[in-house]
Chains A and B, each alone.
Chain A
Amino acid sequence: MKKSMNHSFYQIIYNLKKYWIKQGCIIIEGIDLPVGAGTFHIQTFFNAIGTHSTAIAFVQTCRRPSDGRFARNPNRLQQYYQFQVIIKPPPKNIQEIYINSLKKLTIDPQKQDIRFIEDNWENPTLGASGVGWEVWINGMEITQFTYFQQIGSLNCNPITIEITYGLERLAMHLQNTDNLFNLVWMQNKQKTITYGDLFFQNEKEQSSYNFVHSSTKLLLKLFNQHINETNRLLDLKKPLLLPAYEHILQASHYFNLLDAKKSLSVVERQNYILIIRSLTKSIAIYYCQHQKE
């Protein structure tokens, strides 16, 4: 139990925040819209474009409807948490800084086999691509480590480093459990709250919604409404980029829900991705030009 207290979900987040503050990051909150990854956060997306420097870290709730498993799989969730670090430009010893963050969590690289396994990352909806690695600990991926090369289909200059910790994976390693739902979220004198206590029912119901009970008609309607709104905001005399971007994010989420239900044909799916991608690109370009002014 003592081990779990030091490595409760809460404690891990706390330790990571403390560490990255020391490295010069400011802590912000996650974006308040359903997104698939911390990369979609306004601060990530817009900070990666342009020339000014950045150092931020935050926890992001992530939603990936297709990954739902009705709470029957002890390793997969349709909602989970990432700890996202964005630094631009990356310090020369960023790898060491990252390894030290693991050390701070009591992971000893001389005792645990840590590896950087090539993983070049691409997110077509954001027109984003990066070069980097999955970081493995004894065979399990716990972090995505990426040097962005392109965002919104524009070349990044300077380069942004994105370090994304998979908090559940990390917690499973530190708490030495193979079942997500048994993870200790937080512990105090009164009680111990597990991950399952908080999210088991949510996983069940959301999976049921995502795969069975969602209304394709409604999702299509909402998708199109958000796309239209994005277009409208971009067509204004002075385009409103941030609200437009938020509508794209919402459209993306409805796309993900449609995808989970497998209601789109291959052609439709391709088309929708292209629509989202081209709008995201327009936003990125506008932003880039606006920055110069």
Chain B
Amino acid sequence: MLNNTLLIEISTEELPYKNLKDFAKSFYHQFIKESKRCYIQYKSVEWFATPRRLAIKVNSLNIIRTIPKTQIIGPSLSNAFDINGNITKATQAWLKRLSININQAQHLKNQLGEWLIYIKNEKSEDITHLIPQIISCTIQKISIPKSMKWDENNIKFSRPIRNIFILLNDKIILENILNLPISSTIQGHFFMKNDRININHAKEYPLILLKEGNVICDYSYRKKQIKEKIHQAAIKIKGMLIPNKKLLHEITALVEWPTILIGRFKKDFLSLPQSSIIYILENIQKCFPVYTSSEKLMPYFIFVSNIKPKNLSNIIQGNEQVINSRLSDAQFFYTIDRKQPLENYHIQLKKIIFYNQLGSMYEKTLRLKSLMIWFANKINLNLKKSIRAALLCKCDLITYMVSEFPDIQGYIGMEYALSDGEDPEIANAIREHYYPAFSKDRLPNNPIACALSIADKIDTIIGMLLSDNYPKKNKDPFSLRRLSLSILKILIKKRIEIDLLELIQQSIILYKNHKVKNSTINNINNFFINRSIAFYKQQGLDPNIIQSVLALNITRPIDIEHRISVISNLKHSDDLRLLISTNKRIINILEKSKFFKNKAIKKNLMTSDIEQKLYTETNELNLFIQSNVSIKNYQKILHKAIKLCIPINYFFNNIIIKDQNPEIHFNRLSLLQYIKESFFKIADFSYLHSF
């Protein structure tokens, strides 16, 4: 009863290669969920995926399921029946919900009273009859981002489902699954061996397709095969590959029977910008570029065919022809582009609109220029280079090459700049100012690129916010959230000493034609505060600690980050708890004192050494903070503050604050107020009271 194998194969028309693995995993996970829900047991489940099929194989399936005993308590006996002994509405509803009648219910007596109860005893049954509905539920729950209809059947899927095949051991199941076509055979490779294959036992899958059908169903194995063979091919032509996981996945998802082939393109095309050749090969033609050991492109490409005929020359020749055509297209654009140096395109940026009322790209670059001048002054960048980078960074948007291949903007600008003889730092900044472009993307390397990246992003954010384009819950078409997180990432990880508020203000000033109300500035501020919170949360930091530091309204991200991380390091320590509890005690006392007005502390009102010593040490703490904040020595500052807790608590334990003399009383409160303010220079520890 335990050694059963269940095979489910869904045959489709070619599934989108970008989603194939996700679909397969979703199918797998949903099946496991459904099985669990139905108390089905098995040893393991395997999934398989090719462009034309998704399959699941369940090993050592237990054909008997055991549903555990369940008890469902209903209305109390007093509420269950009316005066005449008939069932009440409450009881009716309960019975209906469980699909039982009153005779199936029993009575239960416990400490809380007497109740109606429905007891379902443990039940063991053969699950064979359940298999079709489990499969139907699973298929309907597979996550498909963009689904389609293909016939009068209401079902929607990623691509038309042309067949379902279900085999339990050696028995084919031909029940109705969502009105989809169901058959008793499976199909081999659509082009190489388009035969129906008889499979006798579920255990034979997927080996039978490997042997008789020219199909490698195992996704990981297929990927591994491709990976090994493309590297072998590269070695054969004395070249190397640069790993591209995404492309490897896509190619794995595009074939059932991979054959690796080598093609060449015309050597002359190597004079084209490297990024355009790579883009055409990888993104458009789905091939692997080949490099020399010094990472220069070779006039070869490695690609995968889905068939393996005796004569491979047709396939190779065909692919070579297409690639040469595409490169020749690119050559056409490159030739037109290179009739002028990159800087000539700057004035033409007037033709490209940045956004509705915000002017052209030309005007954007002028704002970037102003921002870069500001940056250059603040963080000591080469002024001339900074300005030039700002003016050149968008020039490639006007070129034919970027109009044709928008994804390589920045790369083209960099390559054109280098060939014009521009400074390499400037050229790099043209490419790098787009980083980070997505959440795990790298950061820009050189300082000018970092500044330009921030300037470009802040300019876009402020422009959009001034036009009232705040991101909504699910809609952020201009990626303002991502842009602001990128700014914070760069400022913090690259240790850039910029005040965010100043940066925002600089950017707002540059949008001269916009009316800026106070509420706008508030909204923009709040936007950035929320982004900061999101940023630190993303790093896994405690929200309470984040709030405790943000409460100080500090506007230098790098400063905020230091404080948060120093406090986080002490998160579960007794030291920090001491500081928090001391702070709490001080606050409580101050809150209770209703008529207290803070005045200057007077030494002559101090009656004991303890008070005087506390006062002196608090002064020392403040001096220490003052001299160490600029170098962000928060670790030492925090420790000094923690140390102060000892004399504070000694003070609490030995001095009665509420002295009979009101002047002395209030003087002591003023001292406490002074201490509270000192702590507040580090963080608002009241947010950490739960620690």
Chain A residues in the interface with B (C-beta under 8 A): 69, 72-76, 89-90, 92, 95, 99, 109-118, 120, 131, 133, 137-140, 147, 149, 156-159, 173, 178, 262, 265-267
Contacts and interface: CB of A to CB of B under 8 A. Distances in A.
7 contacts: A73-B329, A110-B309, A111-B309, A115-B14, A133-B14, A138-B321, A158-B151
A149 B146 CA distance: 11
A138 B148 contact: no
B314 A159 contact: no
A138 B353 contact: no
A115 to B, nearest CB: 6
B314 A111 contact: yes
A110 B307 contact: yes
A75 B306 contact: no
Closest 7 CB pairs of A and B: A138-B318, A116-B14, A139-B319, A118-B16, A131-B148, A109-B191, A266-B353
A104 B181 CA distance: 28
A89 B17 contact: no
B150 A137 contact: no
Contacts of A149: 148-149
Nearest to A178: B321
A173 B15 CA distance: 26
Contacts of B17: 117-118
A115 B305 CA distance: 9
Contact of B353 (A113, A156, A267): A267
A92 B179 CA distance: 14
Contacts of B321: 138, 140, 178
B307 A173 contact: no
Contacts of A110: 191-192, 307, 309
Contacts of A156: 149
Given A117-B254, A158-B151, A147 B160 contact: yes
A90 B318 CA distance: 31
A49 to B, nearest CB: 15
B13 interface: yes
Interface in B326-378: 328-329, 332, 351-353, 356
B356 A267 contact: yes
A269 B352 CA distance: 12
Contacts of B305: 113
B309 A178 contact: no
A112 B146 contact: no
B254 A138 contact: no
A261 B332 CA distance: 18
A112 B318 CA distance: 9
B328 A116 contact: no
B658 interface: no
Contacts of A138: 314-315, 317-319, 321-322
A262 B311 contact: no
A133 B181 CA distance: 22
Nearest to A265: B353
Best-surrounded residue of B286, B303, B305, B321 (most CB of chain A within 10 A): B321
Contacts of A140: 318, 321-322
Nearest to B310: A111
A158 B315 contact: no
A265 B14 CA distance: 39
B598 interface: no
B318 A75 contact: no
Contacts of B593: none
A110 to B, nearest CB: 6
Nearest to B307: A113
Contacts of A131: 146, 148, 159
Contacts of B191: 99, 109-110, 114
B574 interface: no
Contacts of A157: 149
A131 B311 CA distance: 34
Given A112-B318, A120-B146, 4 more contacts: A111-B314, A114-B191, A118-B15, A265-B353
Nearest to A177: B321
B324 interface: yes
A138 B51 CA distance: 17
A156 B13 CA distance: 20
Contacts of A95: 13
A158 B321 CA distance: 39
B149 A74 contact: no
A137 B306 contact: no
Contacts of B122: none
B285 interface: yes
Given A110-B191, A116-B13, A73 B353 contact: no
A137 B13 CA distance: 17
A112 B315 contact: yes
A158 B159 contact: no
A203 to B, nearest CB: 14
A75 B329 contact: yes
Given A92-B151, A92-B162, A138-B315, A266 B329 contact: no
Contacts of B442: none
Contact of A139 (B13, B149, B323, B329): B323
Contacts of B181: 92
